[in-house]
Amino acid sequence: MKLQVRKLQESDWDFLPYWWSSNKQNKSIENLRDFLPGSFQIGDYEEKRSGLGGFMVCKENDPIAACWLIITNSKCAISTDTIFDLSYKDEDKEKALNLLINFVNNFAKELGYDYVNKLTKDNKLLKKL
């Protein structure tokens, strides 16, 4: 089965708050969607949609992991910590996470950013990066 990255969709918000809290993220955020970036506005104007400014890696139609990209007015974009479905145990989990991180970094570079800073507390991920 093929791994692929796609933009976040409204239906993802049915499970993203659960992933966020189960991945030991900051649970004190009252409205998570207000905290995370909205959808990107590239090309024709599209109304900004709260909390949809990120990407999801999936295996076929099964979601595995997500992260958001914070656009700044500097030469550095910021990628949020990657959250994932803790019940996903397939052997390609690390490959899926790498695909998502690389996709987000390349997306930021295509937008003209020279640097991408990753916000994470995950020591294993920090060592890899």
Residue type, 118: K
pTM of this prediction?
Answer: 0.84
- Residue 36 maps to which CATH number? 3.40.630.30
Token representation of residue 20: 């966020």
Closest CA to 15 of 68, 56, 59: 56
Decide if 97 contacts 65 (C-beta within 8 A). Answer: yes
**Residue 51: which domain range?**
3-128
How many domains does the chain fold into? 1
**For residues 87 and 122, what is the distance between their CA atoms, to the nearest angstrom?**
18
Token representation of residue 52: 């949809």
Q: Is 81 helix (H, G, I), strand (E, B) or coil?
A: coil
**4-59 pLDDT tens trace:** 999 999 999 999 999 988 887 666 667 888 888 888 665 555 556 788 999 999 99
**For residues 119 and 125, what is the distance between their CA atoms, to the nearest angstrom?**
10
